[in-house]
Amino acid sequence: MLTASNLVRRKVFFLVVLILTLNLPLLVPYGFRLIEQIILYSGLTLIWVILYKFLGLFFLGISGTVGLSIYLVSILHQFQISTPLDLFAAFVLMILILAPLTYLVLRASGGYFALLTLGLNLIFPLITSSLDASYFSVSARYLSFDIGLYMHFILIVVFFILSFLWLYLHMPVKLKYTLILIKRGKEIAESLGINFVIYRYFIVLLLLIVMVVLGIIHSTYLFRVDTSTIFSSELTLIPVTAGLLIVIKTKDDAFIDIIISVLVPVLYLLFGIVVPALVEVLLGLLIFGALAFMFKKMMVSK
Amino acid sequence: MMSVARFINIGAGAIMAVGAYTTYLLTSISQLGFLATAGLVFLTSSVIGLVFYLGVNKMGLFDQPEHTIEDLSVILSYGFYLFITGGLSLLFGARYTSVNVKLELPLSLSFIKETELIILIFSVILASALHLIFISNNNLGLKSKAIMQNIQSSIAIGINTKRIFAIVFVLSFGVLGLSGCLYVLLYPLNPYFGLYYTVLGFVAAGVSGVGNLLYSFIIASVISILYSFLGLLIPLGVAIAISYILMLLILVVKPEGLKRGFR
């Protein structure tokens, strides 16, 4: 009989199979970097979609957050701080930066929140490039981490936790309903005894910290760090597009969502690196098409 | 667009890029003067605005509640931004391109450059024109102010909101295209340059209070002057960041903006 616990067990089993499948490219040269990129984008997608679907926050500052984490690691690495102390110090510094910043941007909501967080993608590179040009007098830094397999294991664990959180949020659990109430607004949440400001702040901060962890792990795979590459628009573009596809699609199945979060980066890595601009055009059209379809559905249901 | 149509346009920077590249094309293939070029750019961008509005309206966005329009407009305009910037990258490449525009100002001033003076004059004219159209007490201005307060009530008293939205889209896109045309007088362009101005514009609108055109104009000017001065003392990037954080702090203290608008 297909009970709820059976269903969860089955999904976790499929998740394990998915992760093992993801690791197949380890057998080929460069497979390591390929998996890392797929898992990075997939993890970012899951974070984005949790923020959007359960908190109603259209977060666009992904490349700013991830890029700044990589930048801090590269600076600490430049000062010859030993690994993993440099990674940990970058992590702490990012929390110190994000804690007040999250509070500030959460003052806005809806489209205003989207634009404020989009600002982070522009402000952080401006700061880092100015610092590089004026104080550090470098145009790029070269990293040499020799901890590939160890980091790869942590990356898989983070991905597994995020995927499990996503599956968990699709079950009838207290956390899911708390988040939905927070999404509905301050009055509704507080009338049911939920501290709207504190809850929302800590959940968003926690998800951003996971994003920072992904960024820091990503930095250990890089050899060269400069502002134009670490704040690349793909870091925002791919998770948002995959996330939108997850939100817009009609069938509400958490496992299919995880598959989409993996497939979109795979497709990007297959085709997008050759002609990224064409992918942008297609993604733009895809968003239009999906929304048009959604509106049509809404009209029919009315 | 934000005040009247509730449309939060992340794609504003893409229209600026369209205006800038139209200027680039027109100046490359013809010997048109700046005013004629600017006129054509305005026309092209306005047509794009009209087509975009008709498409979005056909989808049924403006039949939704106000908060749904605000939320979904972000996604829609993000798709639009990707489509336009990706398209421009495919056509022109993502590298920086300089534009050679002929200016026709028979003046030689020592305190300001000719291009800067033209940009200043254009900006003041545009801000005044928009203020006159949407805020002053003429027929369109009164209707716009009514829609800014409540869309449903405006429909109830017989205002054709969709016609006003169409005018807003046409004029906004036209002005955005024109600002792209002015941008190329000073800087080289690439398809993504407009994103920074989108954020700056939004924050200026947020700080001044949504629906306050005049205040938005003043705040945007103050921000630009502030980071230009700060840029003399500290690296420009850090100066811009300080200005941005200052504005965030203002929004924390006064979420409705410094001066309450019509909403």
Residues of chain A with pLDDT under 50: none
If you search the block for the tokens 């869309």, which residue do you land on? B151
Q: What percent of chain B clears pLDDT 90, i.e. is strictly above it?
A: 11
Q: Does A59 touch chain B (CB under 8 A)?
A: no
CB A272 within 8 A of CB A281: no
| R_g over Cα of chain B | 19
Q: Give the pLDDT confidence score for residue A244 in this predicted structure.
A: 82
pLDDT in tens, A70-116: 999 988 888 877 778 888 999 999 999 999 999 888 887 777 788 78
b/e for A159-197, b at 16 or more Cβ within 10 A?
Answer: bbebbebbbebbeeeeeeebbbbbbeeeeebeeeebeee
**Does residue B210 surpass a pLDDT of 70?**
no
Residues of A in contact with B237 (CB under 8 A): 125-131
CB A77 within 8 A of CB A143: yes
Whose CA is closest to A39, among A146, A158, A148?
A158
Q: Which of B89, B192, B237 sits opposite A127 (nearest CB)?
A: B237
B206–A108 C-beta distance less than 8 A: yes
CB A114 within 8 A of CB A55: no
A279–B86 C-beta distance less than 8 A: yes
**Does residue B194 surpass a pLDDT of 80?**
yes
- The strand pairing partners of A141, in sequence order, are A225
User: Which H or E element spans position A225?
Assistant: strand A224-225
Q: Which of B87, B199, B248 sits opposite A118 (nearest CB)?
A: B199
pLDDT in tens, B32-55: 778 888 899 999 999 999 999 998
Whose CA is closest to B247, among B206, B195, B217, B197?
B206
Q: Dmax of chain A from CA atoms?
A: 67
Band (pLDDT 50/70/90 cuts) for residue B149 is: confident
CA dist A191 and A179 (Å) reads 14
Chain B nearest-CA distance from A148, in A, is 33
Q: Give the pLDDT confidence score for residue B263 in this predicted structure.
A: 47
Band (pLDDT 50/70/90 cuts) for residue B103 is: low
A134–B235 C-beta distance less than 8 A: yes
Band (pLDDT 50/70/90 cuts) for residue B262 is: very low
Q: Give the pLDDT confidence score for residue A92 in this predicted structure.
A: 95
Residues of B in contact with A281 (CB under 8 A): 82-83, 86-87, 90
Q: Give the pLDDT confidence score for residue B214 in this predicted structure.
A: 72
Q: Which of B70, B83, B235 sits opposite A281 (nearest CB)?
A: B83
Pick the residue of B2, B82, B190, B243 with the most A CBs within 10 A to test the interface with A by mutation. Answer: B82
Pick the residue of B10, B81, B83, B243 with the most A CBs within 10 A to test the interface with A by mutation. Answer: B83
Q: Does A130 touch chain B (CB under 8 A)?
A: yes
Chain A nearest-CA distance from B17, in A, is 15
pLDDT in tens, B224-245: 787 777 777 777 677 777 777 7
CA dist A245 and A247 (Å) reads 5
B195–A122 C-beta distance less than 8 A: yes
| R_g over Cα of chain A | 20
